[in-house]
Amino acid sequence: MTYASDSGASIAKINYLKFFTMPKPVAITGRTSSITNSFINSIIPVVVPTSDEVRAALEILGMREHVACAYCGDAFTEWDHLRPLVIDKRPTGYISEIHNLVPACGKCNQSKGNKHWRAWMFGPAKLSPLTRGISGLEAKAERLEAYENGAPPTRLDFAALVGADLWTEHWEHHSRIIASIMLAG
């Protein structure tokens, strides 16, 4: 299979999976936020994309020829959840899938955390693209908006899926773990 390039010439099919790695789950490090993130990461589904899905995502983001951080344009090192998985120590319902992931550099991924991408990107965070003086932010934001408005991401209601009793029990386990760590610390 070949794809037409912008100039009309054919190009060979590229395995776009070489540009993709799933985000690494957060490890428990003794901080309650890390424990909560690990607790939530342990229950969310992970849907590994196909090469064609990664290609389509990169095309929407304007990265057919060169994959870079979607937020600042630096070399990408990982894929970041565009919409956070955790807010206020509770799952948002979004999952790890291509419709909720964009290439990012470590600076941007760590600085953004669980903030909404646009508020962070144009906000005063220490390593936000605006604070770092990155040029072309509006164009990057337009591509991110096009990506965000493309294929809708999966959003699950975990309590409805597993039932209220099991969901309550899950969070009671979480509370006991946090309490045990606080006592041990």
10 neighbors 88 (Cβ within 8 angstroms): no
- Region of 135 please: left (phi>0), alpha (psi -120 to 50) or beta: beta
The label of the residue with tokens 């994959």 reads 67
Quote the radius of gyration of the chain (alpha carbons, Å).
19
d(CA 165, CA 173): 12
Strand positions, DSSP E, the chain: 2-4, 10-12, 78-81, 86-87, 90-91, 101-104
**Per-residue pLDDT at 14:** 82
- Buried residues in 121-133 as b, exposed as e (16+ CB within 10 A): beeebebbbeeee
Q: Which amino acid is at 176?
A: R
**Per-residue pLDDT at 82:** 95
Q: Using alpha carbons, select from 23, 27, 33, 14 the residue that is nearest to residue 96.
A: 23
**Per-residue pLDDT at 3:** 45
- The four Cα atoms 17, 19, 20, 26 give a dihedral, to 10 degrees, of 150
Domain boundaries defined on the chain: 16-26+45-156
**Per-residue pLDDT at 28:** 47
Question: Exposed, middle or buried by CB within 10 Å (0-12, 13-18, 19+), for 45?
Answer: exposed
Taking the chain (185 residues) in runs of 10, the rounded mean pLDDT of each run is 48 79 60 77 91 95 94 96 91 95 95 94 96 96 95 93 93 87 68
d(CA 95, CA 47): 8
**Per-residue pLDDT at 104:** 97
pTM listed for this prediction: 0.77
